[in-house]
């Protein structure tokens, strides 16, 4: 029996790589994608599997090779729940993952083009989504964004490294407890820039299109001057932003009270855009931005509110200075008039 199990495990290890690559290639072809798995291995003991060099290619018209890549994915599965139709993973981890979001010179996004390339005429299915349970999830990834449609000389790329950890993720809404998750991140190779510390909870994803979640935390020292494509970058580029996030969502709709509070602090050296006019703007400004709408169509205008707040403060500063100058000049004219009246008035 031991030899039989050892033989089955050896066969599984030997055949799994080719089998997984073939299945992935066939399924990707059906969806109009280019995908590959460089290596796959598994063991019957504890139902462990490892996949390496997983990639999804960019659609035509974009410069990057891949839009998705994972250096390694490991999972530990529980076999017994399969008897009841539940996919149960005690742990799932992904390392060295990269998501490349690219806007080409025509202004097209690769992720949108990727979705548009998939077939859309398939008949809808009435089958329920598979029951999935993940005890522990960890993902270390980098999201790289580039915008080739921006004028030369403008910042057109930024990469953000983050770590996502979560426990108790489920797809069945059978009164199970919510999942707990945490996100920590920063601009790649710069631990202090846009440093995120976010925590939250997530309801069972019985309908991924209508999630329910709570998230709260901070993102500190966001350098607006380095954000590609920011419409008001030249107006706001001399500010560093600290953000406090407090957002709740139920069935895909944001709840009342959801907001992002932003504190703008002007750079000590003035930074880009630090002109004489900017000295009229306060060195620190706080703005509350409500988050409304739905996950599919969120409604928040962070940049517009920031620009409006700063310009209003500048306008008030200019108006105060103008009134002060007017009062000084006006007071001087009145004093001159009084002096003139004293000198030329009727003598007793």
Segment 245-267, tens digit of pLDDT? 999 999 999 999 999 998 888 87
Give the lowest-confidence range in 26-35, 44-53, 273-282: 273-282
Give the lowest-confidence range in 83-92, 101-110, 300-309: 300-309
Across 281-300, average pLDDT: 82
Across 103-115, average pLDDT: 90
Rounded to two decimals, the pTM is 0.74
Q: How confident is the model at residue 131 (pLDDT cuts 50, 70, 90)?
A: confident
* More confident call, 258 vs 325: 258
pLDDT at 3: 40
Q: Which residue has the tokens 């205008």?
A: 301
Average pLDDT score, the chain:
77
CB 62 within 8 A of CB 80: no
Residue 9 has pLDDT above 50, yes or no: no
Q: What is the pLDDT of residues 135-184, one digit of tens each?
A: 999 999 999 999 999 888 888 899 999 999 999 998 876 657 899 999 99
At residue 345, what are phi and psi to the nearest 5 degrees? -70, 170
Across 97-112, average pLDDT: 93
Residue 219 has pLDDT above 90, yes or no: yes
Q: What is the C-alpha end-to-end distance of the chain, expressed in Å?
A: 134
Instruction: Report in angstroms the alpha-carbon separations of 48 from 11, 44, 55, 89.
Output: 15, 7, 21, 10
Radius of gyration in angstroms for the set of CA atoms belonging to the chain, rounded to a whole number: 29
Across 36-45, 76-85, 199-208, 284-293, the highest mean pLDDT is recorded for 199-208
pLDDT at 103: 93
């Amino acid at each position: 029996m031991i030899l039989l199990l050892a033989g089955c495990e050896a066969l599984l290890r030997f055949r799994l790589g080719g089998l997984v690559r073939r299945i992935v290639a066939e399924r990707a072809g059906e969806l109009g994608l280019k995908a590959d798995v460089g290596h796959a291995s598994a063991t019957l003991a504890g139902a462990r599997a490892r996949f390496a060099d997983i990639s999804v290619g960019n659609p035509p018209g974009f410069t990057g090779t891949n839009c998705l890549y994972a250096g390694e994915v490991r999972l530990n599965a529980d076999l017994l729940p399969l008897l009841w139709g539940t996919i149960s993973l005690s742990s799932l981890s992904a390392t060295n993952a990269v998501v490349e979001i690219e806007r080409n010179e025509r202004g097209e996004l690769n992720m949108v083009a990727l979705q548009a390339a998939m077939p859309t005429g398939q008949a809808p299915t009435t089958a329920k989504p598979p029951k999935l349970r993940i005890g522990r999830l960890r993902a270390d990834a980098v999201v790289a964004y580039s915008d080739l449609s921006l004028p030369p000389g403008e910042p057109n790329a930024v990469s953000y490294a983050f770590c996502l950890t979560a426990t108790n993720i489920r797809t069945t809404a059978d009164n199970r407890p919510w999942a707990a998750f945490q996100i920590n991140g920063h601009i790649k190779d710069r631990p202090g820039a846009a440093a995120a510390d976010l925590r939250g909870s997530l309801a069972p994803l019985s309908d991924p299109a209508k999630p329910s979640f709570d998230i709260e935390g901070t993102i500190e020292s966001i350098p607006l001057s380095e954000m590609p494509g920011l419409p008001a970058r030249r107006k706001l580029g001399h500010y560093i932003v600290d953000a406090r996030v407090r957002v709740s969502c139920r069935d895909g709709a944001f709840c009342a009270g959801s907001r992002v509070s932003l504190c703008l602090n002007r750079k000590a050296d003035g930074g880009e855009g630090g002109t004489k006019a900017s000295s009229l703007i306060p060195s620190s400004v706080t703005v509350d931005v409500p988050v409304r709408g739905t996950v599919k169509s969120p409604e928040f205008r962070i940049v517009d509110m920031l620009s409006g707040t700063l310009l209003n403060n500048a306008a008030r500063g200019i108006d105060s200075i103008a009134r002060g100058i007017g009062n000084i000049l006006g007071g001087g004219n009145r004093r001159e008039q009084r002096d003139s009246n004293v000198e030329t008035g009727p003598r007793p």
